[in-house]
Amino acid sequence: MAHAVIREGKINFFAASDLTCYVLRGSGGDLLIDTGMPQTWKPMRQWLQNYNIRWVFLTHAHADHDWNAAKMQQNGAKILLSVLDKDLRRNFLRQRVMPTSKHYALRNVMQCVSGGIFKSPPYEADIYFGNEDSGLLRTLGFDAEIIPLPGHTYGSCGILSRGVLYCGDAFTMIFGRPEIPPHAVSPQLMQNSLRVIESLHPDWLACGHGLPVRYDRAAQAIADALTIKYEYN
Ligand SMILES: [Zn+2]
């Protein structure tokens, strides 16, 4: 697969409160990847004035990614979400996550408690796409392909565009270093998706938390994670 070389400035991102959203520019309008939380709405909306957002791609249906989907929709954007996360909207426990490492056990309990309490404002996606719809974004005017990356949730998806893999929570920089996500509905599916990321070998990983990272900086963390033997799936 050929990848254009991307300079740092070409990744359009908005990062606040450990959440990072991205914009892809398209031939007929732009696409926002993930939507942040209540506290990021105002500054994000200001940032979005630089763009003509017609589409919103949700990497998965966790509240810290889809919270502002309803607002974006009210402002005229169309929402795209994997059909496999349709029932996860406002229902975190529908796909109960497990810690991907022992030291995330307590964090995982807290996630399940807060996930049961905090529910995003209701929205219905305009398009629920399936794993066979990898070319959907091309039909909407984007030089981009949808990459299913299940594991963190069943419907988790990334976007590969011009050497950048926008990967949601399939990989993370949340602690300021390249790392696997602390939680996964299926650690084994997560590992499969890490293999997919390895085979794609993008120039950049643009994660849902933390700043974009060069793939070469993340490769070791991915290789290490693939050596873990999970007793559960
Ligand atoms: Zn998540």
pLDDT in tens, 128-175: 999 999 999 999 999 999 999 999 999 999 999 999 999 999 999 999
- Tell me: pLDDT of 222 over 70: yes
State how many domains the chain has.
1
What global pTM score does this model have? 0.94
Separation of 38 CA from ligand 1 center, angstroms?
Answer: 16
In the reported structure, the alpha carbon of residue 181 is separated from the centroid of ligand 1 by a whole-number distance in angstroms of 8
User: Is 232 inside any structural domain?
Assistant: no
In the reported structure, the alpha carbon of residue 145 is separated from the centroid of ligand 1 by a whole-number distance in angstroms of 21
Q: Classify residue 116: in a domain, yes or no.
A: yes
The answer to the question of residue 40 being in a domain is yes
| Helical ranges in the chain per DSSP H | 38-48, 63-66, 69-74, 105-117, 136-139, 187-200, 215-225
The Cα 202–Cα 215 span in angstroms is 6
pLDDT digits (tens, 9 = 90+) for 56-108: 999 999 999 999 999 999 999 999 999 999 999 999 999 999 999 888 999 88
> Which domain covers residue 221, as residue numbers?
11-225
Q: What is the CATH number of the domain that holds 26?
A: 3.60.15.10
Rounded to the nearest whole angstrom, what is the distance from the C-alpha of residue 152 to the centroid of ligand 1? 7
